[in-house]
Each structure stands twice: as C-alpha cells, then as structure tokens.
Structure 1
Amino acid sequence: MKDIATDASLPADIKQLIQSAKQRAAVSLNAELTLLYWQVGRRIAEEVLKGERAEYGKQVIVGLVKRLVAEYGRGWSKRNLSNRVKFVECFPDQEIVQTLSAQLSWSHFVLLVSIENPLKRDFYAQARNKNR
C-alpha cells in the first residue's frame, strides 16, 4: 500500500481541484458583478436621467453617490455610476451582456464603453470574446 504522505499525485490532484474551483468562482463572480453593474446603470438611466428629469437626476446622483459610497465603498463613486449608465447605453441588451460577461471582465467593458464608434466597439468585444 502506498504511503499517502509520500505519494505526490494526491496532493497535486487536490491542488488542481482547488485551483479549478477558484477559477470558476472568480469567473462566476465577475459575471454576476458585471450584470449587477448593468442593472444599476439601467435603473439609474430609466428612473433618473431620462427626459425632463435630467436636471433633477443630477441632484439625485449626488445623493445616491453619498449613500452608496458610505455603505459600500469607493466602487460606487460618481465616475463609476457614470460608467455603469454608459455601459447600458452602449450595451442595451441584457442577454448580450450576460453572454459577453461570461468571457469579458468588467475592466474590459469599461474599456469598450470608451470606444465611441459602435461598430468598432462591437468588433473589439467580439474579437476579445473569440480570443479567450
């Protein structure tokens, strides 16, 4: 019978299982956060920034930022909320966001929304998605 303490395959197998689980968890967490950011952006865009409420919306954003930063930290700054609204403007279809978020990180989306030309933005999103 093999001595488990000296058999290198068992610890190596367990290490691989742990690393694989961590990787899957990170990908899943990224996809969930990306979808959350999209939903937050959509909610702000729909409820605060549309039509005649734009000036009112600016005031609401300031108050919203204060509350969110106080409760959840700097990740909810005005700049970040603006990125989330722009995210929805650039990627209005939630199903597309869900599909892409399985392959692209939030950082990728932030870079993509900075591309003004929609055709270029879509090209780079698909190219990055294929390269993964």
Structure 2
Amino acid sequence: MTKKESNLAVIETNLLQVLSHLIEQSKHQVAIQTNSTLTLLFWQVGNRINQDILQNKRAEYGKQIVSTVSALLENKYGKNFEIKNLRRMLQFAEQFNDFQIVVPMARQL
C-alpha cells in the first residue's frame, strides 16, 4: 500500500467514524423525541377519557366505556391501547392533572 493509499484509508476511517457518530446521535435524538411525544399523547388520551367520558368519576358504566374505547383504539392503532395500557393512561392523567407539569416532565424522560 502506498503512502497516498494509506492516507486515504485513514481519512475514510475517520470520516466513517464521524459519520457514524452523527448518525448515532440523530437516532438517539429521534428516540428521545418519540418518547416525549408518546408520553404527551398517552397523557392526553387518559385526560380526554377522564374528562369527556368518565367526567372524572368511576361509575360502573365507565368500565364498559373504557373497554369499548380500548377495543376500538387497539383495533385501529395496536397494542399500545389495550385495556391495561389505557387504564395506565387514565391513572397518569389523574396523577398529573396539569398539562403544564406534564410537558417538561415528558421532555426529561
């Protein structure tokens, strides 16, 4: 291998390392943004069900409504909206009932 070829190999290796680092950083940022967005979505889903359907009460009919909503959402959007997850969303929205608190918290997760 000539000196020129050797220098080119080093440059290519360094470039590959730099590019790999940039790609990995971007992938990490995408994951952070996705987690934050999903956290806010799940809070909003729980909050809307609490306010609009259950009216912040736990009536017996509410269990049936939550089950029905869960089945419809799960059918359309997948397992994230199965009943146990929907109940967690409801609990999350109950525990942190101020959206202004949830937003910075979601960014930190």
- TM-score by length of structure 1 reads 0.70
| Equivalent-residue separation in structure 2 for 1:79 and 1:57 (angstroms) | 15
Deviates more, 1:31-40 or 1:95-104: 95-104
Task: Tell me if 1:56 matches 2:49.
Answer: no
- Any idea what the Cα deviations from partners look like across 1:49-84, whole Å, max 9, x if unmatched? 126783332221121111111111221111111100
| Equivalent-residue separation in structure 1 for 2:53 and 2:100 (angstroms) | 23
Decide which structure has greater helix share: 2
1:18 aligned partner, one-letter code: I
Counterpart selection for 1:84 from 89, 94, 105: 89
| Equivalent-residue separation in structure 2 for 1:103 and 1:52 (angstroms) | 30
CA contact (8 A) 1:48 1:54 kept: no
- TM-score by length of structure 2 reads 0.84
CA contact (8 A) 2:45 2:89 kept: yes
Percent identity of equivalent pairs:
37
Give structure 2 stretches of 5+ with no counterpart: none
- 1:14 corresponds in structure 2 to 19
Alignment CA distance shift 1:51-1:98 (3 Å): closer
Counterpart selection for 2:73 from 47, 68, 72: 68
Alignment CA distance shift 1:71-1:85 (3 Å): same
Alignment coverage as a number of residue pairs? 103
Task: Tell me if 1:47 matches 2:52.
Answer: yes
Name the SS for the 1:56 alignment partner. Answer: helix
How large is the RMSD of aligned CA atoms in angstroms? 1.9
Greater relative contact order (CA < 8 Å, ≥ 6 in sequence): 2
- 2:28 corresponds in structure 1 to 23
Give structure 1 stretches of 5+ with no counterpart: 105-132
List aligned pairs for 1:119-130, cutoff 5 A: none
CA contact (8 A) 2:47 2:90 kept: yes
Alignment CA distance shift 1:20-1:51 (3 Å): closer
